[in-house]
Amino acid sequence: MTFSIALAGKGGTGKTTVAGMLIKYLVKNGKKPVLAVDADSNANLNEVLGLEVADTLGNAREEMKKGIVPGGMTKDVFMSMKLEQAVVEDEGYDLVVMGQPEGSGCYCAANTLLTGFLERLTDNYPYVVMDNEAGMEHISRLTTSNVDVLIIVSDTSRRGLQAGLRIDKLTKDLNIGVGKSFLIMNQTKAEPAQAVLDIIGKDGLELAGSIPEDETVYEFDLEGRPTIELPDDNPAIRAAFSIFDNILN
């Protein structure tokens, strides 16, 4: 059975970097193959993983809606072919990018086909990691209907925390079947202050741990180097791996 992990958070909190750390952790610990799903409309998980993306599922959906299907090919076969083309393979994990959200008009048929193919695709992987934007619509519409673990990434700002708590509430309102939600504080300079713990505690969201601000992570990002290649002894990687140990084991 596939174990699905979704990440969400306010922009700029480093959730995509944390997603890359999680994929690194899973592969290193033999929990593979992993399917990485970039469901953020501002897709950049491929940069964290150091992969080139040739096509997205959003493009396939657009082409099907516009009737751009080769002659003699059914829509089902076309979508299956496009899905296979959109999967980027690497050692221990594969990546698929959802792409931009829908334009105007009805996408019901395309989304129905896409959902079915994604469900069949995810069945081939013991672990799925989904990097989402702040809203959780991608999970409710286009990926698996249930999420075993939701990791909400926040920085130390009050706005970041409040956004994380709103995301947690949104997942409950959408009734998408989240098994367990955790909060990770990212880019921290010190242990969370009591005021921060009070904000988190009153909403019942569990703080899984903190990942410290790290100059090497910043340099990798600035230079466009895949952060999945960060060394295992990096302080941010060590902290993240410790958190994942507690969440997933």
Tens digit of each residue's pLDDT (9 = 90 or more) over 188-213: 998 888 888 887 877 778 999 999 99
CB 23 within 8 A of CB 131: no
Share of the chain above pLDDT 90, in %: 42
Query: From CA 94, how far away is CA 27, in angstroms rounded?
Result: 11
pTM equals 0.88
**What's the pLDDT at 185?**
95
Count, residues in the chain? 249
Say yes or no to pLDDT of 107 above 50. no
- Residues with Cβ within 8 Å of 172's Cβ and at least 6 positions away in sequence, in order, are 178
**What's the pLDDT at 166?**
85
The token duo for 156 is 């130390």
- Residues with Cβ within 8 Å of 68's Cβ and at least 6 positions away in sequence, in order, are none
**What's the pLDDT at 236?**
97
Local confidence band at 46 (pLDDT 50, 70, 90 cut-offs): very high
- Residues with Cβ within 8 Å of 154's Cβ and at least 6 positions away in sequence, in order, are 9, 10, 13, 160, 161, 163, 164, 183, 184, 185, 186
Q: Which of 40-44, 142-146, 171-175, 189-193 shows the lowest mean pLDDT across its residues?
A: 142-146
**What's the pLDDT at 83?**
79
CB 46 within 8 A of CB 98: no
Sign of CA dihedral 232, 235, 237, 243: positive
Average pLDDT in the chain? 84
Residue 237 or residue 37, greater confidence: 237
**What's the pLDDT at 113?**
59
Strand order in the sheet with 3-9: 88-90, 93-97, 34-39, 127-132, 3-9, 147-154, 178-188, 206-212
What does the DSSP 8-state code read for residue 101?
Answer: P
Share of the chain above pLDDT 70, in %: 89
**What's the pLDDT at 101?**
60
List the domain boundaries for the chain: 3-248
The bridge status of strand 127-132 relative to strand 34-39 is: parallel
Mean pLDDT of 48-59: 87
Mean pLDDT of 131-143: 60
Query: From CA 89, how far away is CA 53, in angstroms rounded?
Result: 10
Local confidence band at 223 (pLDDT 50, 70, 90 cut-offs): very high
Query: From CA 35, how far away is CA 5, in angstroms rounded?
Result: 10
Task: Please report where in the chains the tokens 């393979």 appear, as a residue.
Answer: 89
The token duo for 158 is 């009050």
Query: From CA 216, how far away is CA 83, in angstroms rounded?
Result: 35
**What's the pLDDT at 249?**
85
Residue 170 or residue 241, greater confidence: 241
Question: Which amino acid does the sequence have at 11?
Answer: G
Mean pLDDT of 102-120: 62
* Residue range 3-248, CATH number: 3.40.50.300
Q: Which of 26-30, 133-137, 178-182, 227-231 shows the lowest mean pLDDT across its residues?
A: 133-137
